[in-house]
Amino acid sequence: MASMQQGIDAVPQPAMACDVLVVGGGINGAGIARDAAGRGLSVVLCEKDDLAAHTSSASTKLIHGGLRYLEYYEFGLVRKALIEREVLLRSAPHIMWPLRFVMPHAQGQRPAWLIRAGLFLYDMLAKREILPASQGIDLERHAAGQPLKPEFKRGFVYSDVWVDDARLVVLNAIDAADKGAHVLTQTRCTALRRDGAGADACWQATLQQRDGRELAVRARSVVNAAGPWTAEFLQQAAPGGQGRHLRLIKGSHIVVKRLFAHDHAYIFQHPDGRIVFAIPYEHDFTLIGTTDLDYQGERGKVEIDDAEIRYLCELSSYYFSKPINPADVVWTYAGVRPLVEDASADAKAVTRDYRFELDQEGAPLLSIFGGKITTFRKLAEEALDLLEPLLVPEPGKRRRAWTANACLPGGDVFGSTPQNRSVREFGQFVQGLQREYAWLPAALVARYARAYGTRIHLLLDGRKDVAAMGEEIAAGLYAAEVDYLRRHEWAVSAADILWRRSKLGLHLPRETAGRLDAWLLQHPLSS
């Protein structure tokens, strides 16, 4: 089974050949690796840190069309994203679900009729089968009005989709590996040069693992999906090339204790035009973000600053009856979005669309610039549509695009093909699992169902009672789950487990991370 190759012993031999070397283990890199492997191409993906270690785990956790992009006339991008919403939702209903957004109408904003017209356009730009249409609401009667200040009397409701962004990356990597790809985390591409010509043209790459071991890779093509490091890596791979410039935009978020009891989210507009979301998060919390600031600092260590915290608190407090103060913040995170440089002076107006740069001076080098998590699957599909003809010249031997009709791992809730039913009846799926695994607490089974979908059966295979789960390292975190994450999801540290494969770090005492790291050292995986 390919997924068993994902652990420590899955490292390929020091010299290997592949069709595609993907550099970068964020959402674009993982998505491209998955698509390529599914087309029968041999793939190596290397990531210098953990999967989704940077930008791809620092999003607002939304699969959305981008309502605010309409005002910048990005109709093509919005339509593409809106189509992808339901495609993705059907493919992974365990890590995504529909979410209704409330937009209070404030004095001084655009006229209500204009907002309603924009929402109508948002509804109509793409076909909807699952998500309900937008509508106007009376906030004096609707449950969403209760936490707001009394001056907000009317508003609008529309639909988008919530996603566990880091798990989305991991699921793409799992699927890539199941289809034969070698996924190497903690592995940096340290050297890259072109070799040969014509049919013999290739890339000679050196990959260095965290322990210092080096792997030589001969690749027929390279995909540069290094996110914030894309431009830098392009200069390394093709010195002297013009390339595109990236504009790094920092987006920061705060998390506070739960601010409201209902299941809707809010979209708030600042007088300066910027948008901030307040979203139910991890049952007990509210997620508030994001900011849009040009960023010039170190890309590997992006942090929120005090001014951003104050901004998010103040804007939220403008709408909520109960003020939010910096002291209420229990967690923060920040990332940089590598966007395509354009003439926009304002960070919030920079396009979220993506661009490709294909260098065919010898073996192909495809660099990915920009993009958003919502359109990653389409980006990967278009990237392979560009790359595959260069690797498989005979049209009859090429495999068609396939990901639009495929479930992500764990998403095959009611069959192997994506279904609306999987979204609408996910609750029934969870209840069935709770009956099947009645020896586990129902809340724990529900968490497993949301994290792993049908792969819960792999996690619990052969276990019949709580004792078989192994040591309870922290409340609700058993050795069985930790070992599953190490064997099948490339987790190597407490941060990988508590903050990317899950958000248990929010729910457990701070000292848990240190205890878990010590436990991992004391309990190395057996082969």
Token pair of 230, please? Answer: 């894309």
Least confident among 10-14, 66-70, 457-461: 10-14
Residue 11 confidence class, pLDDT cut points 50, 70, 90 = very low
| Run of H or E including 195 | strand 187-195
Average pLDDT over every residue of 364-377:
92
Token pair of 511, please? Answer: 């000292």
On whether the CB atoms of residues 331 and 253 are closer than 8 A, the answer is: no
Higher pLDDT pick, 347 / 331: 331
Give the span between the Cα atoms of 177 and 2, in whole angstroms: 6
Together in a domain, 195 and 239? yes
Query: Is residue 204 included in any domain, yes or no?
Result: yes
Give the span between the Cα atoms of 98 and 95, in whole angstroms: 11
Query: Is residue 206 included in any domain, yes or no?
Result: yes
Query: Is residue 123 included in any domain, yes or no?
Result: yes
Closest to 252 measured CA to CA, from 281, 298, 287: 287
Together in a domain, 147 and 261? yes
Together in a domain, 269 and 383? no
Together in a domain, 130 and 260? yes
Q: Give one DSSP letter per residue of 47-95, joined into a string.
A: -SSSTT-SGGGSS-SEE---GGGGGGT-HHHHHHHHHHHHHHHHH-TTT
pLDDT value at residue 316: 95
Query: Is residue 78 included in any domain, yes or no?
Result: no
Residue 499 confidence class, pLDDT cut points 50, 70, 90 = very high
Together in a domain, 317 and 229? no
pLDDT value at residue 242: 54
On whether the CB atoms of residues 60 and 165 are closer than 8 A, the answer is: no
Together in a domain, 425 and 516? yes
Judge whether residue 8 has pLDDT over 50: no
Average pLDDT over every residue of 28-45:
98
How confident is the model over 180-205, as pLDDT tens digits?
Answer: 999 999 999 999 999 998 889 999 99
Average pLDDT over every residue of 407-421:
96
| Run of H or E including 457 | helix 456-459
| Run of H or E including 154 | strand 154-163
Query: Is residue 516 included in any domain, yes or no?
Result: yes
Together in a domain, 238 and 252? no
Together in a domain, 262 and 297? yes
Judge whether residue 417 has pLDDT over 80: yes
Judge whether residue 129 has pLDDT over 90: yes
Higher pLDDT pick, 298 / 347: 298
Residues of the chain with pLDDT > 70, as a percent, come to: 93
Average pLDDT over every residue of 331-344:
80
Residue 286 confidence class, pLDDT cut points 50, 70, 90 = very high
How far the first Cα of the chain sits from its last, in Å, is 14
Provide the CATH number for the domain around residue 147: 3.30.9.10
Least confident among 28-37, 300-309, 336-345, 384-393: 336-345
Together in a domain, 341 and 270? yes
Q: How many domains is the chain built from?
A: 3
pLDDT value at residue 350: 44
pLDDT value at residue 58: 96
Least confident among 47-61, 221-235, 241-255: 241-255
Together in a domain, 17 and 133? no
Higher pLDDT pick, 22 / 66: 22
Q: Looking at 290, 322, 349, which one is the last position of a domain? A: 349
Query: Is residue 228 included in any domain, yes or no?
Result: yes
Provide the CATH number for the domain around residue 482: 1.10.8.870
How confident is the model over 134-181, as pLDDT tens digits?
Answer: 999 999 999 999 999 999 999 999 999 999 999 999 999 999 999 999
Residue span of the structural domain in which 42 resides: 2-55+167-244+352-391
Higher pLDDT pick, 352 / 106: 106
pLDDT value at residue 389: 96
How confident is the model over 92-111, as pLDDT tens digits?
Answer: 999 999 999 999 998 777 78
Token pair of 488, please? Answer: 């099948």
pLDDT value at residue 244: 57
Kindly report the average pLDDT of the chain as a whole number.
Answer: 91
Query: Is residue 292 included in any domain, yes or no?
Result: yes
Query: Is residue 69 included in any domain, yes or no?
Result: no
Together in a domain, 50 and 174? yes
Provide the CATH number for the domain around residue 224: 3.50.50.60
pLDDT value at residue 2: 39
Angle between helical axes of 376-391 and 27-38 (0-180°, round to 10):
50
Judge whether residue 5 has pLDDT over 60: no
Together in a domain, 143 and 187? no
Judge whether residue 301 has pLDDT over 50: yes
Dihedral sign, CA of 410, 415, 419, 421?
negative
Q: What is the pTM of this model?
A: 0.94
